[in-house]
Amino acid sequence: MSGTVKICGLSTAPTLDAALDAGADMVGFVFFEKSPRHLQLDQAKTLTARVDGRARIAVLTVDASNEALRAIIDAAQPDFLQLHGRETPARVADLKRLFSLPVIKAIGISGAGDLAAAASYADVADRLLFDAKAPKDARHPGGNGVVFDWRLLAGLDPRQPWLLSGGLEPGNVAEAIAVTGARGVDVSSGVESAPGQKDIARIKAFIAEARAAFARADAGQQAAHAEARPGRVA
């Protein structure tokens, strides 16, 4: 079973095209003014039109109002709302009803206690995204390049599909997948040369490394199933 690779915070046509050409399953666009990856609505409309069905589109917002979300959705025509603020489970449920779009809810993780928050979203969010909890002095809740202890997620079964984020980059994504068993990964700052500036070579390398790691995980599962099959002849 193949995994999901998401490249988030895209803001230029060349880097978006690189992500699509390399086989990204999902591309993300940020609408949060404090972020160096923030897009204006006209930029978003131009960029998302280039996707043309080659990947699913997620729009990332932080405690946005209904009016702001409506404008973003009209411009970007997304497949997912990605919520990175303090949205409650009730707010997530309301947004799903209002906009008829599936929701990815980000959960900040720094210790085992933070995983308890995931349970309250499991019945309302369509996917969870486990990200490193932002440092206290951070200006934005994600894209800070911070890694949390991946061992916290080993064997996790949150009842919903989930993505791993937080400090991922081409050099560590394979280890992250192996440690956590993640079937989806999300990267932003880890494929940048500077904050908000995506690097085409790093995008391609990240996707290639993630794909290879997912393939190894699939092969390991198939081998384990074959080993456990009754009647197997040595």
List the structure tokens of 205: 């390398």
Instruction: Give the integer Cα–Cα distance in Å for 196 and 215.
Output: 30
List the structure tokens of 31: 């609408």
Task: Tell me, yes or no, if 25 is annotated catalytic.
Answer: no
Query: Are 81 and 47 spatial neighbours (Cβ–Cβ below 8 Å)?
Result: no
Instruction: Give the integer Cα–Cα distance in Å for 95 and 99.
Output: 6
Q: Is 30 helix (H, G, I), strand (E, B) or coil?
A: strand
Task: Tell me, yes or no, if 131 is annotated catalytic.
Answer: yes
- Within 10 angstroms of residue 87's Cβ, the number of other Cβ atoms is 23
Of 21, 131, 186, 199, which one is the catalytic site residue? 131
List the structure tokens of 185: 């990964």
Query: Are 148 and 109 spatial neighbours (Cβ–Cβ below 8 Å)?
Result: yes
Longest dimension (CA), the chain: 64
Just list the catalytic residues: 8, 131
